[in-house]
Amino acid sequence: MNEFNFTLNGKAVTYRGDPLKRLLDVLREDFGLTGAKEGCGEGECGACAALLDGAMVNTCLVPVGVVAGREVTTIEGIAGTKEGQDIIEALADAGAVQCGFCTPGMVVAAASLLRGNPRPTETEIREAISGNLCRCTGYDMIVSGIRAAAKRGRRSW
């Protein structure tokens, strides 16, 4: 259990270490992927969100041993795709980024939503980001950014 493989942003990787370490710390410290942020450290803020087998999780609540043999996609992985770029650009255009600390989590939440539901309603968008806190924007710009991303990426989702 102290050495296992998993897929990280499409690449097979090996982790050696304590399986109880938080996935968040493993991403940031062992793999140098600092896109996921630690906000609250207790699953309340969504700044550390990533996809585990395509489903959004808070990486501060996932012991890394749980991801053995599974697929982790971080904000870095999402940003490298056309869909990710659509979301990032749409958020920037909408003025949805101020301090930027919540943005990686918001992009992950948006990608998680749009992959399963390419034409979400406003209610569905708000539900999808309900676990992601933003202290700057008041959320409206983020919601319109995600709606714009849905339109922008219409053919690729």
Partner 1 sequence: MVRAFKPADLTEALRLRKETACVPLAGGTDLMVKYRNWTGLPPAFPGDVLFLSHLKELQTLERRGETLRIGAGVPLADIAAWPETPAVLREAVRGIAAPAIRNVATLAGNVCNASPAGDGICALYALDARLELTSVDGTREVSILAFITGPGRTVLRRDELVTAVLVPRRAANIQVFRKVGTRKANALAKLSFAAVGEVKEGIVDAMALSFGAVGPTVVRSTETEKRMAGKTLAEVTALAPSIVEDYAALIVPIDDQRSTAAYRKTVALNLLKSFLEGLKEKVKGI
Is residue 89 classed as helix, strand or coil in its secondary structure? helix
- Contact (Cβ atoms closer than 8 angstroms) between residue 36 and residue 59: yes
Task: Give the up-direction half-sphere exposure of residue 100: CA atoms within 13 A in the CB hemisphere.
Answer: 3
The nearer residue to partner 1, 41 or 93, going by C-beta atoms, is: 41
Measured CA to CA, the distance from residue 72 to residue 56 in angstroms comes to 10
- Tell whether residue 49 is a contact of partner 1 (CB under 8 A): yes
- Tell whether residue 122 is a contact of partner 1 (CB under 8 A): no
- Tell whether residue 58 is a contact of partner 1 (CB under 8 A): yes
Instruction: Please give the residues from 77 up to 96 whose contact with partner 1 meets the rule CB under 8 A.
Output: none
**One of 12, 16, 42, 155 touching partner 1 (CB under 8 A):** 42
- Tell whether residue 37 is a contact of partner 1 (CB under 8 A): no
**One of 5, 34, 130, 156 touching partner 1 (CB under 8 A):** 130
By CB atoms closer than 10 A (0-12, 13-18, 19+), residue 21 is middle
**One of 3, 5, 34, 63 touching partner 1 (CB under 8 A):** 63
Measured CA to CA, the distance from residue 6 to residue 99 in angstroms comes to 32
- Tell whether residue 73 is a contact of partner 1 (CB under 8 A): no
- Tell whether residue 13 is a contact of partner 1 (CB under 8 A): no
Alpha-carbon Rg for the chain in angstroms: 15
- Contact (Cβ atoms closer than 8 angstroms) between residue 73 and residue 66: no
User: Which positions touch partner 1 (CB under 8 A)?
Assistant: 1, 18-22, 25, 29, 38, 41-44, 46, 49, 52, 55-58, 60-63, 65-66, 68, 109, 112, 127-128, 130-132
